[in-house]
Every structure is written in structure tokens, then in C-alpha cells.
Structure 1
Amino acid sequence: MTRADRGPAGGGASQGSDTPPARTGANGTGSPASASVPRRRSLADELRSWTVERLANLLAARPDLAVPPPVSLASLAERASQRASVALAMDRLDALTLQVLQALAVSPEPVTASSTAALLGLPEQGAVADAIEQLRDTALLWGPDEGLRPLVNAREALGENPVGLGPPLASALNNSSPAGMQQFLRRLGLPATPDPVSAVGSISALAADAPRMRAVLDSAPAGVEAVLEKLVWGPPFGRISLSADDDAYEAETQDPETDADPDSGTAEPSESPLEWLLARGILGRWTEDTVVLPREIAFFLRRHVFGSGLHRDLAAEPPAIAIAQHDPRNADAAAGAAAIAVPRRIEELLDAWAAGPPGVLRSGGAGIRDLRRTAALLDVPEEEAAFLIELAYAAGLVAADLASGFWLPTPAYDRWLDLPPERRWAELAAAWLVSDRAAGRVGAPDERNRQVAPLSAEVASWAVTEMRRDLLGELDRLPQGATTALDAVVERLFWERPRRSGPAMRQLVDWTLREAVWLGLVAPVRGGAGILAAHGRALLLGLPRDALASALGAALPEPVRHVLIQGDLTAIAPGPLAPEVAREMALIADIESAGAATVYRFTTASVRRAFDAGRAADDLHAFLAEHSLHEIPQALSYLVDDVARRHGRVRVGAAVSYVRADNDAALTEMLADRRTGGLGLRRIAPGVAVSELPPAELLEGLRANGYAPMAENEDGSGAPVVVATARARRATSFHPYAVQRQALPGSAAVVGLAEDLAAGG
């Protein structure tokens, strides 16, 4: 139970300004100790002394400071001191650097590297010096070596009780009367002082003198250290029990300022441990039923009684990782096979959405039913379907069309289709790395216990982008082809980013790793975190798209140009097909399964699709003969010839619609067929009939009843006749996808900005 009016949480720390008070020099005149070194009154003054290179490093380490570009060093300093920017910078600190910042924030002034290292129980040189240098380079710490100053908002971000410490003695003993303060001094064996302020100073000096303070505790009654141990590591507040048979109840009913011997440092026989501590100011009375352990006392206890430094567990080194080595070539091949399948699934997804687009929900996003239909279409779990949808959105290939109210492919999708498969993947992977879309949230309950819809605003998460880089970065640190346990990776991630830890971040790690496997960046390993593929490492390096595509191409086997056609009207591609062969196979046959080997199936509908696209029977026979490893099965030859024989015998055109047959007998047979009664056909001339249905509906109706018509050219000319496919629907008016942060400048722009700031001062 803390109270806001008890004083600042940081011992001796200035609150509300990053400008220090004036300091007097050694002569007491207020002049600086050395006239040759200009006194820096603020962070802006400090930044003015930095080189261009150091300013550029600051902007690179804290990229939010460069967006939008600051106009001066004063505005840069102001932005660097703002709460949101400070919190973001602290989120990027590793565990040891954060612990050093905590020590700097709670250390009594003047704060130096030496005093901070002593408080931590570490040598001044080495890790502590490196951490202080990093904090200064990121502008979270400033000031001269003899007076280091963490930013005010950095102190506030550490909380009211940083590292589990209570308030300073001056605040902890604030409820004691001046007479009571003198009683504390007498019981501690200290001389009287003229006022409470100097009394607090005497007790603080005693706490800083380890041998004397140890001697005081040695004279304490049994149980005192047990009471202190409960408070020393935090929380520093303890509630006094009001049980009648509890020693603490005695402390509530007796006055520690009058019941104990004022001239004795030893305990009265009737004193309880809590009474003894309260009677000497080692604990403070915070409220009527709450006690608090003052910060200075906690420093002594942590360093000399219950530990060796400020922190119970000092994170001096990152956790060790045990690795298991695998053949990197196998890992690259496995990841590459998964990667090259992603563009095909995206194409299948968006072609289906172009033909039957899902509507945009009133609250934004697409419906859960549309997600399930998409998962069934792609034959993948709903979680993976959500990932593919969000990936297409992040790459700018799909958007909400404002005119129609549907989710439709964008014009960028057509340009993407013109790229080779490896290059398509490179576009998707680069978009995923910088996207803030957490597809794992799709389908989870939101604040109103409703399922989060795909493409909705709830899918965005501020932590996603940096988590992706951090996780891939941890895998990148392992030797090539090596993996380790996922728990070990999580432990390292949480050491690197302790302010980004906990169950929610662990779930984000799982989602991120799952997406990296689906995208083909990481090869899965049973019982391990997976192996980062060579093209995954290339993605982290920020290589251009063409280089990234080449890295993936190196992981893939040589494209094959032949398939194994079987008698059951299936064909197996033993590896990735050459692009032109793959496109033709997808036209003639349906893909049943994809992976290391793709399985195709020939059907009447798939062969007719090729004829509708302008292929002739001879074209199909020639293609299959050229690309089949064995002789074409007779069943497939019969299928092609049978569809070709029936294809185009009946033709459909616009008139509203008409049917024209090569001979009147075929038309007479069709009109007499009961199954065509609902199509509204009527004869208008020998071999010609008309219908009120649009041509597309008439075509589908005749095909559904066993006929094989084809669409006729508008001029009614003869062969070759190509079915005019429906015009691909595209989003024409939409808001392009934008990551939920402004674009960050490149390294060259950062250096230029640093030069401008240094020149402007």
C-alpha cells in the first residue's frame, strides 16, 4: 500500500526534469571544478558534444527518433526523453543492461560507474562499463562520469518500487515525530542530532557502514532476520497482523518510542522482532497496519546479509544453449520445398477470391466462414489459411475494395503473377518480416468474447515485427545447420528482452516460429526450435529481392521437365517443375497434393478447361508425349479424344443467348431432353435455338446435363473457338496496406540526418 504523497520512489533522483541542479565547485563558489570542461546542463547540451557518427548510431539504435526527422538537437533531445520513446528503447535492453540501469536509477547521488558496480557486486570494468556505455549511446543515460543521470522517464518506467526496493529512509520514516527520530538514534547507539533531516542522514550513514550495521543486527532478538528476509527482495511493504496471539499484535498495542530502554541498543525481554525493528527505524511505519523496509537498509541487507548485490539473481551472462548439429543441406532443401509451395497457395487463394470474393464486415476484416471455406479450398488447417490470407494482405496483393465492399486481389497481384516463383516468394518473405500482422490471433476470442476475424484491426500487434527479427536472429546465432530446444531459445529471447517476456510473449514466439516454418524460412526439427535455412539468413541480412530469390533457388533441386503419368489418370512430378511446364500442367490437370512431389489428376473438367483456353487435342497429346517419362496411358488418350470429340459440337453465344448446332438432329435431341427444360430453349431456325439465360449460365446448365458446348466468338466465325473467361475482378478503390508504424529511414538517410543535426546544433 503505497501513497503518492510519500515522496519520490527513486533515492535522491530528480523527478520531472532531465536538467540537474547547479553544483558547487570545490571552493564553494558555484563555479565548475574545471573551467576547461563545459558543464552540460541538459541532454541537449550533451548531444551537441557528440560526433556525427555517434548521432547516427543513436538514430539507428532508436529509429523512432528519426520519424519524422527532428529539426534540431534540442528537438531530438526532447523526443528522446519522451515516455513512449524511452519505454521503447528500454524494451530493447538485455537483462544485464536493464539491471545496470536499475542500479543507476536507485543509487544515491552522486551516481558513478564505480558506485553502480559496487551496488551490483561486480567489477567496474567489463560488463558494467559496457552497459553504461550502451545506455549513454542510446541517450537513456547522460551526464559526466562523476554524476551519471538516467532520464526521468527511464526512472518512472522502472516503477514506484524498482527492483522491489522501498522508498528512501526520509520517506519511510516520515510518520515519525522529531522526538521519535531521536529515540531511533539512541537505540542504534548514535549521537543525537538537531533535526529529523540530520537524523535520517545518521541512520543512512550507519546503513552504509557494513561492519557497524552488522553489529546492530547481531544484538537483535531472534526472528529479526526472518522478518527482514520477507521484505528484502520485495515487495518492501508488509501488513501487520492484528491477531491477538501474534507478536505483531504486540507491536500495534505498544509504543516502541516509550516502552524500550532509550539508552540501550539491546532488546527488552518483551520486545518482539517487529517491535525491535520499528523502535530503531530499521522498518518504517507506512500506515497504521503496514510497515516498509527503507531503501538504504535494503541495500545493506542485499549486499551483506542475504546476497552479494542489488539483485537476487544477477543476469551477468546469457543462458547457455546446448545445440544439436544436422546437415545444413537437408535443412535448406526441406525449408525450400515449403517455401516454393507458398506462392502457389497464395495464387490459388486469390484466384478463388477473385471469382467469389468474401464481403468486408461492418467492423472490418473477412468473416470466419470465409476463413473456413478458404481452408477447405486450400486443404490446410484454418490457422495456416489465416496466415496465408494475412501474408497476401501484408504483401499488398489483396485489399478491401471500397466500391464493391468485397475483399479482392489488387492490381499488384497481376504484376506479382508475372514474376518467377522464387521471386514471388521473395516478395512475400520480405513483406512478412516487416509486417505487424499476428495471424495467430485469428479465431481467438477478443475482448467481447467474439472470434477475431482475419484481416481485421485486432490482428495487428506492436510486438510482432521485432519478435520476428529477434527469433530469427537467435536461430541465426547458432552454427549453420544447428538447432536447440525451443525452451532454450525462449530463455535467450527473454534474457535479450526481459521487458518483453511472459505468457503472452511466449505465445507470440510460438506463432512466429510456426509462421517461419510455413513460409519456408526455418526447417522443422522434432523436439527442437528448427534450423534457419540459408535463404532465411539472407532475409535477415536485408538482401535485395533478386538476391533473396537466388538464395532460395540455390536451396531447391534443379527443376524437372517430366512427370510420371499413371493409368489411374494421375501424374506425379518428382520435383519442382519448370515454370512453363507447371503452368501447362495446372491447366490440363487439377493439383491433388503439393510438396516435394506434386500429384495431378486428369478429369473431364480439367481437360475441357484446356480446350476452353484454346488448346486443341493435338496440342495436349504433343505436350503429354514430350513431358511424360513413360508412354501415355491409353485411358488418358481416350479421355482427351472423347472430350475433344464432344467439345464444341454445341455452341453458345449472346443473343440474349443462342445455341447453334452443326446439324439440326443434335439440336432436336437437346430440345427433346427433359433435363434441358429449365433452360428456356426454343428453336428459331434449323440448328439454332435461343434462351433467356445469359451465355455463362446457359453454358453451365448444358454442361451440368451432360452436354459439352463451347462459347462462340461474337462474329460466329469457326474454329479455333476460345471460351472468353470471366474478367478477373480487381480492387479498384482501396486503402493500401501499411505497417502500423511509419517507414524508417535507411542507413544513408540516417547519416545525412545526423550531419544536418550536428551542423545545425
Structure 2
Amino acid sequence: MTLSTTDSLAVYLASLSASDLARIVTMTPTVPEEPRPTTLRHVAVCLADPETALLGCSFLSRGELQLLEVLWAVAEERPPGGAARLGREAGPRLDDDPVVVVDPEALLGLVCGPDRREVRDLGPTLDALTGRVLAWPEDGRIRLHPGAASVFPLPLGLGAPAYGLLLGQRPEDLHAIVRELGGLPAGRKDDNAVLAARLLGDPEVVRRIAARLDPSARAALDELTEVGIRRDPAAAWGYYGPRTNGGRSDGFARLRRRGLLLPTGDGWEMMPREVALALRGDDYRVPFESRPPQVATVAADRAAVLRTSAASASAALDVAARLLHACAVAPPGLLKSGGVGVREMRRLARELVCDEGTVRLWLHVAESAGLLVADAERGRVLPTAAYDAWLDGEPAARLLVLVRGWVTMPDVPTLDVVDAASRPGTRPPAPLSGTSARGGLALVARGTLLRTLGALGPDRAVADPASLARCVAWVCPTPFRQGIDEMVAGFEPAEGAAYAPGHGHGQAADAYAAGSVVDAAGESAVETALDTVFDSALDPETDAGTDAGTEVDAEADTEIGVGGDLGDANCLVATDPGPVRPAEFPLVAPCGCADCRDVADEIESAYRGRFDAVAFTVTALHEAAALGLVAHGALTALGGGLAVQHSAAALLAVAEELVPPATRRARFRPDLTAAVVGTPAVELVRLLSGCADPEGPGRVWRFSEASVRRHLDAGGTAAGLLADLAEVAIGELPKEVADLIHEVGRRYGRVRVASAASVVYSDDEALVTELLHHRGLSELRLRRIAPTVLLCAEPLDEAVYHLRRAGYAPAAETETGSALVERPAEFRAESPDNADPGRTGGRTVALPMSEDTSEAWRSWAADLLESALRPPPPLTAKAARLHEAAPLLGPEDCLVLAQALDRGSAVRVAATAYNGEPMTSTVAHLAMAGDSLYMRPPNGRPALLPFRLETLWLVLPADD
């Protein structure tokens, strides 16, 4: 008996250990964490979801993808949604439940050949596929997950097996095919299909028939041997053009008569798999890169790596905190089209004393970490409530929030700048505009880079960016595109297609591929353009140069520098990008024919959002170095822990070694400065920022009359400030600092300004007379109405401003005579989203799962395996009847459903709806009539459910 996909998976899962089962479940997002499945069959139902296969394929290496493609190529049956139904929009459906199995001997014949040299490499690769539940053993054969059908619609350029294609032909056509192949037709259609499939499966018969073909038919056959499929517009639905019977059409007709080319509907024609393999020859072998390319490495100086990563991590905390504070005090405005404009970027860069590439990076990191949000309704970029919680945390915890924000960031902002600089007249997308097409590819690519670096070992550092990029693209090729010259070559076989020999412009295409993308030495233009940046990534103490790329300013025709040194966290963008291949490249067809346009559109669509491996590797290393994850080309301890997804507690312990606890003391100097060693605590920053001005991007503050007066304007006193500073001072407070505060405090408030339009008064009559006759205050038009009172023609804020500019220290008052407290306003986003700065939004799939699966999941897996060994519960009469009517349900499901029918309780069901789409729903008031379920509410008409009972595949008790 052939098992369904769900039952086959349940049998396979029952053969695993608890650790292996827990690892599979934690690597598969389609298995819910809450509520956890209660039986192995429930786990199998979740794993049978097509999304499991699609996500699993996204994390396979090149060798694993190659092997999986071979498995699909030699599978005994292709599921719907694959090549057998090419040209239709239907995908794999749960009720189809196709059985896809592979004979291991067929696999060995294509991959290993007679000598079987690669057999030892097949084992680990097959283990990786079973770990992703893309393939598993079943009765001496290999069972494939049918959800991957859409990933390999035409594996290895091979069509579907001959028998399935022959069944779709007309009986009279089958008679003719059997005669042409040298067989004796039978009476029944199925018998003729079996006979024709047997003849087409004999390589000698196929080669003998091919040798007798005329030149035009043989040329058409050679084309299809590599491609496997074609579309005849004259046979497509809705075609009303002229039907031609030229030489090539006659050649294809002769192939059809012999069964070498079989129609599949809507104009599509396919060469049977057996025919293509026979014509490719007995020596045909598929490419199988079982081992990754070698990465050029050098010995890493761990002491230097630790020093540099610690400095980078501290700098990251400093620049991120200052950027978020700048956004809180003066929120940047958003463009009407979305994102932060050039002027706002320049303003932030000036305030942070850094370049715009740094601002771009940290804006994206802060948004991804939930600390910042682009509020489209208010038209501003605002910190969230999580920003306040982040400020109160210790440096190590704050660093982890930034690191997690970078890991889950859907963009690569520095790569956007490099791509734009390669194309004159273009500029990168505005930060926080949400226009990136990368999506989940950036997450997968970033995790792949960290995993690849981690595999090199802690004592090795990367010496060559190109070798690392090749290895990264092998470890997980999904996010990366191949070279444009390889893509063009991939479309060459079909005569009449774009860039094909004989089309009239093949040479132009070759020149385009060779001249515009690859230089004379054969090295990618991206590698050449980014060598300078990677040199700085390997050695942060080396200057990356000062040549700057340019971007076009929409508001002013000026150049924006993007140069810098990786050792400085403020310089993060590639210098001198040169002719970098753009990330989104419109392939320009050398001529304007429809074939060229179609192929160009297909190439661009297939690779939209994917990365050039070298460009991504360099820029991602640059960003990782700014966070302390990479230093001198080697992965740091924090980066290594992130690559293997250590627990949050383990990562926090590593981060605490990288950045020390917050410093709550400062050293005050006679030159009126205060210096902090390490990362200052938030309360120390607030104290010093309220009475002193920060100097540059460092941790130094300078006192001045204006800065001390700012503290007094905010409601403080000179005595209170001296006490606060003495409490945080290392040693004695210098006399110069104390004298400055005393002097400002003595003078502060001798002149007071109140609202009238305004009133200036003082207890010192001589001082009031001095103000009345001061030439610098003539704009206030002061008038004495009492010995110590002056009337002012200007409002309060203007009067205070002019008095301070003249060198006085006025104290502002309200209308009631109380002191007017002046504190800078800070803004926050109204949305409560991302209130928890450590929240990542569920189980991440961006990085590989840890080998050390949590004890809770192992215990859960052990309980499931133990329960699977027990005999199934006895079925009641109603449950047995349900099991017959719903073969996809397990015994436990049938018992739950029977109990719901008896008690009228609600259940949560999963089934395939009448339209063929999977559905889940909670239903109550169930009743059964024949083989159908319907709802019978107490006060309503009975209603049929939107699914058939035989398509029901999961029943769970509804949540209370």
C-alpha cells in the first residue's frame, strides 16, 4: 500500500531520535510553537505543508540543490505544479497528495557513474536534505516532498516521464507512436501507453529512431535534448494567426509522430525524460559540487581582533545613541514619496560628525530593532517607546538590540549606495523609504555570511574577498545571482531566442557580456571596484582612501562624499566604487525584437532583488565590523555566537566581555572638560548633557557659561549642580569648574523678565539703569516705569535672547511670577509597536539553528515518540465511520471529531476547500449526513461546510 505524504512523514519521524526530531521541528517554521502538536501525525501534517519545502530549499547549499534537482529529474512521478502541468497556474494541492519516489540506482547512475567515486559525498548531502524534510527514506527508496515541485519545474532540462505524458495523448496517436517505434499496437489505450513507454525507455530504440531522422527533424531534436520543452504558438489557446508548415514545423511534426515530442496542452510540447537521457549518452553526468570552494585565509591575531571589536562596539553604541537623541529632539521630516531626504541626512551627519553612509546604516538598524519608526501620518522619523527602555539598559544589552536589528534588517543600506554610485545620474533609495526589493533575501544572505565565517574557525581571517564570496554563494546560493554572462549563456540553446547564434546579434550580446560586466582579465567589475573597501575591512588601521563616489542630490547639484575607513565606525560606505554592476540591472536587448525583450524581462524578473556575491560580501562585512561582529577579516566571539544562534543569555555574556558595564563616574579637568572612560550610563549622560556641551563623537563634554546657564534655565541651582557633579567626579572637582558654576549662579536671575509684553526688573537699581542705557539693547525699546522696573516692547523670548547676547544671565518668569523652566522637548512615536526592544517577532529563519536544541523541545519530542509506540486508541463506531469517510485523518483526529459530533463542541479543522486552497477554521454545532458534514446552529438554517469530508486532514480540540 502506498502511503500518503502525511503518513509517510509520520512513519519517518517515528524512526528518529528525540534530538533529531526536535532539530527538524525547530528548523521548520510551519510547525507552530504554540500550541505545540500533540501527536506525530500532527507534526507530519505541518511538515507536509508546501511552505516547508519552499523555505527548506532557500537554505540549501549549491551541492544540496544540485542533488535535489537530480532527485526530481529521476523521480518516478512528477506532482501537479511541476513540468507535467507547465503552463497552468495550479500549484501543488493537499488533496492531490502525489507520491514522488526515487530509485537510488537511478540517482547513482547520473551523479556517480560506473566508478561510483562520489558515493561518499552523497551521504552527508542526503542527510542535509532529510534534515530539511525535503527527502526521506521509504522502503529502500527515496521519498521527496511534493511541495518542492514549483522549485524544479523542469529539473536538468528534462521533461516528465514518458508514461504520464503518453496517457494524455489520443488513442489514435498512441497507435501511430507504437508503430513508428517498431512495436505492435494493442487494443486498449493504457496498454499502448505502457508499450510506448517501454520502447522509449530503451536507449537503443531512441538512438536508432533519431539516426533515421532527416536534417531538419534532427536539428529540432538536438535543440530539445538540452531544453526539454517548447511552445508552439500555432497550437496555443487563443491563437488566430496564420499556421505555417515550414521545414522546422515539419521536423517537429515528425518528432511527434514518433513520440519523441509530446503535446501537454496550451501549445506546450515536452520531450519525455527517457528520450533526452538516451540522446545525452551513457556518459552524461550531472554537475555535483559536494564540497565548498576554498577560502583564502591567514592567521588571525586574536588580541587585535578583540581590541578592534571592542572599540567598534563602543563606537556603535555611541553613534546610535546620539542619532536616536537627535531624532528625538528634532525629528527628521519624511519626503512625500517616503524616506528621509538629502537635507535631513546632511543635517544629521553634521550633528553626529560623521558621513551620510553612517547615518543611513544606523537609521535602518534602529528601525529594524524597533527603536525608530517612520511615522507617515505625522511625516517624521520618531523614536519609539522601546528607545527609552533601550537607554536604561546596560551597554551589553543595548549592543545586542542593535545586533539583532542588523541581523533581521531587510535591506543592505551600504550596498544601495555602492550600486547607485555605479550608475551616473542615479541615487540610492531614500533611507526608511521601504522601497528595497530584497526582502527576506537579505536576512538569508546575512546569516549565510556569518555561518561561512564561523566555519573558518576562530583563528583564521579572510585574505581574499572573491574566495569568500564564492564560498558564501555555494553555502546558500538562493540570495545571489550568477554573472550576467552565465545568464545569457543559459538562454542560448533555443534557436530563435535572444542572444542565440544565428539570430543575427549573438556577437553583440557576447560583446555586451564581456565588455560591460567582465573586464579583460576575466575578473568581475565588482571585485575590482570594491578591493579598496575590503582591504580596509581586513585591516581597520589602513586608510581606505579619500576618493569619494557621488550621488545625485535632488535638491542641489552637489557631490556627496561616501569615503572612509572601516576602523572608524562613522565611515561605512565603499570608496571609489568605479563601474560597479548595479543591483537591479535592466538587461538591454541588442535589438528591439520581441524575443529579445521577452528573454531580457525574464532574466531581470528572475534575479530582481538578488545580490552580487562579491558586492554583498564586502559591504556586509563592513557593516558587521561596525557592530564588532567582524574585525581584521575574522569573526569575533559575538559574531560566532550569533552565527550558531546561541541563547540570549550566552550572547549577553559574550557581549558583556566585549563592552564593559556602563560607567557612572567622570574625570573633570581644569580646562573645563569632563571625560568618561567606557560607555557612560544614561543618567551620567543626562547630567553632563544638561550642563555641558559634547565635543565631537567622543565621550568628552566642555563646560561654558551658556551650558551652565542651560542647566539653571531647566530649573536647577548652582549648589545642586555642584553636589551632583561632586557625586560622579573621580577625585576632587577642579576649582575652575566650581568657580565657573559659582559665577554663573551668582549672576543668574539678577535680571528677571516676566510676561506683560514683557517686563524687565531687578533688585539692583544700578543694574536696571545700566540696562536702560545699554546700546546693545536698543532693539528692546526699554522704558523705566519704576526705579527697578523696565517695560519692554518685545515679547519675553526675544527679550531673554537679546539680554543673553549682551552678556547678561536673565531668569525668565511666568505670568504668576514663578520660574519658567526651559527644557528641550523630546518627541516619541504614538504607535506602541515594538515596545520590547529584545523582541524578534517569533522564531527566526535568517540564521541556521543551533546544534544544541533546547531541552524543552527534546523533552517534547521524546514524549511524542513514546506516545507513537503505544497502540492506537480503539475507535468507536462513529469514529470508525469517520475514518472510512476521511482517509486523511488519523485515529486521534477521528475520535476528537466523533466527540464533537456527540457533544456539539467546537473543533479546529484543517482541510482543502472546494476551490482547492488549504483552509483552517474553528467550527461548532456539527452534524453528519452520509459522508458530509454540515453546521446545524440552534437558531439558524443548517449549512454545508466549505470542504468535503475526504479532504479533511487535521482535527484539534478548539481553544477555550
Decide: shared fold, TM above 0.5.
yes
Give the distance between the partners of 1:326 and 1:563, measured in 2 at CA: 39
Match of 1:747 in 2: 854
Give the aligned residue type for 1:702. Answer: L
| Residue 284 of structure 1, CA deviation | 4.1
Give the distance between the partners of 1:200 and 1:688, measured in 2 at CA: 112
| Residue 19 of structure 1, CA deviation | 1.8
Match among 151, 157, 165 for residue 151 of structure 2: 157
Distance 1:215 1:401, change over 3 A: closer
Distance 1:287 1:139, change over 3 A: closer
Match of 2:58 in 1: 91
Residue 734 (structure 1) aligned with residue 832 (structure 2): yes
Match of 2:523 in 1: none
Give the aligned residue type for 2:147. Answer: N
Match of 1:244 in 2: none
| Residue 95 of structure 1, CA deviation | 2.1
Give the aligned residue type for 1:471. Answer: L
Distance 1:697 1:103, change over 3 A: farther
Match of 1:535 in 2: 638
Match of 1:117 in 2: 108
Q: How does 1:361-376 map to 2 (within 5 A)?
A: 370-376=344-350
TM-score, reference length from structure 1: 0.71
Q: How does 1:309-388 map to 2 (within 5 A)?
A: 311=286, 313-358=287-332, 370-388=344-362
Give the distance between the partners of 2:636 and 2:262, measured in 1 at CA: 59
Give the distance between the partners of 2:190 and 2:755, measured in 1 at CA: 102
Give the distance between the partners of 2:371 and 2:854, measured in 1 at CA: 28
Contact 1:683 1:690 in 2 (8 A): yes
- Secondary structure at the aligned position of 1:126 is classed as helix
Q: What 5-or-longer segments of structure 1 have no aligned partner? A: 1-13, 21-39, 242-246, 254-271
Give the aligned residue type for 1:522. Answer: V
Match of 2:391 in 1: 417
Give the distance between the partners of 1:44 and 1:705, measured in 2 at CA: 85
Match among 117, 127, 134 for residue 140 of structure 1: 134
Give the distance between the partners of 1:191 and 1:410, measured in 2 at CA: 79
Match of 2:899 in 1: none
Contact 1:86 1:154 in 2 (8 A): yes
Contact 1:331 1:531 in 2 (8 A): yes
Give the distance between the partners of 1:680 and 1:538, measured in 2 at CA: 68
Give the distance between the partners of 1:731 and 1:172, measured in 2 at CA: 60
Give the distance between the partners of 1:156 and 1:741, measured in 2 at CA: 28
Give the aligned residue type for 1:295. Answer: R
Q: What 5-or-longer segments of structure 2 have no aligned partner? A: 77-100, 235-243, 421-425, 482-582, 584-608, 869-891, 893-960
Match of 1:66 in 2: 32
Larger Rg: 1
Contact 2:317 2:399 in 1 (8 A): yes
Q: How does 1:224-623 map to 2 (within 5 A)?
A: 228-234=221-227, 236-237=229-230, 249-250=246-247, 252-253=249-250, 280-284=258-262, 292-302=270-280, 304=282, 307-308=284-285, 311=286, 313-358=287-332, 370-399=344-373, 407-436=381-410, 439=413, 454-455=431-432, 458=435, 461-479=439-457, 480-502=459-481, 504-506=609-611, 512-523=620-631, 530-540=633-643, 541-544=646-649, 546-553=652-659, 590-594=693-697, 605-606=706-707, 609=710
| Residue 62 of structure 1, CA deviation | 0.9
Contact 1:589 1:606 in 2 (8 A): yes
Give the distance between the partners of 1:177 and 1:394, measured in 2 at CA: 58
Residue 166 (structure 1) aligned with residue 192 (structure 2): no
Match among 748, 757, 772 for residue 648 of structure 1: 748
| Residue 80 of structure 1, CA deviation | 1.9
| Residue 393 of structure 1, CA deviation | 3.4
Match among 48, 51, 70 for residue 81 of structure 1: 48
Contact 2:216 2:247 in 1 (8 A): no
Give the distance between the partners of 1:139 and 1:512, measured in 2 at CA: 30
| Residue 97 of structure 1, CA deviation | 2.2
Match of 1:19 in 2: 4
Cα RMSD between the aligned structures? 5.3
Instruction: Provide, for residues 636-693 of structure 1, a one-character-per-residue CA deviation record: whole Å limited to 9, x for no partner.
Output: 9999599849952644465567544463333333344465456576656444446698
Give the distance between the partners of 1:298 and 1:318, measured in 2 at CA: 30
Give the distance between the partners of 2:371 and 2:792, measured in 1 at CA: 39
How many residue pairs get aligned? The number is: 673
| Aligned-residue identity in percent | 28
Give the distance between the partners of 1:511 and 1:211, measured in 2 at CA: 54
- Secondary structure at the aligned position of 2:138 is classed as coil
Give the distance between the partners of 2:383 and 2:793, measured in 1 at CA: 32
Contact 1:589 1:601 in 2 (8 A): yes
Give the distance between the partners of 2:720 and 2:36, measured in 1 at CA: 68
- Secondary structure at the aligned position of 1:506 is classed as coil
- Secondary structure at the aligned position of 2:102 is classed as coil
Give the distance between the partners of 2:211 and 2:379, measured in 1 at CA: 78
Residue 127 (structure 1) aligned with residue 101 (structure 2): no
Distance 1:736 1:704, change over 3 A: farther
Match of 1:668 in 2: 769
Distance 1:225 1:750, change over 3 A: farther
Distance 1:354 1:279, change over 3 A: closer
Q: How does 1:685-696 map to 2 (within 5 A)?
A: 685-689=786-790
| Residue 482 of structure 1, CA deviation | 0.4
| Residue 340 of structure 1, CA deviation | 0.9
Distance 1:341 1:584, change over 3 A: farther
Instruction: Answer with 417-426 or 213-222: which moved more.
Output: 213-222
Match of 2:238 in 1: none
Instruction: Provide, for residues 473-524 of structure 1, a one-character-per-residue CA deviation record: whole Å limited to 9, x for no partner.
Output: 212222335014333333323322233332523166565444323323223x
Distance 1:533 1:651, change over 3 A: farther
Give the aligned residue type for 2:455. Answer: R
Distance 1:61 1:659, change over 3 A: same
- Secondary structure at the aligned position of 1:319 is classed as coil
Instruction: Answer with 485-494 or 745-754: which moved more.
Output: 745-754
Distance 1:536 1:710, change over 3 A: farther
- Secondary structure at the aligned position of 2:440 is classed as coil
Contact 1:391 1:428 in 2 (8 A): yes
Instruction: Answer with 396-405 or 646-655: which moved more.
Output: 396-405
TM-score, reference length from structure 2: 0.58
Contact 1:702 1:708 in 2 (8 A): yes
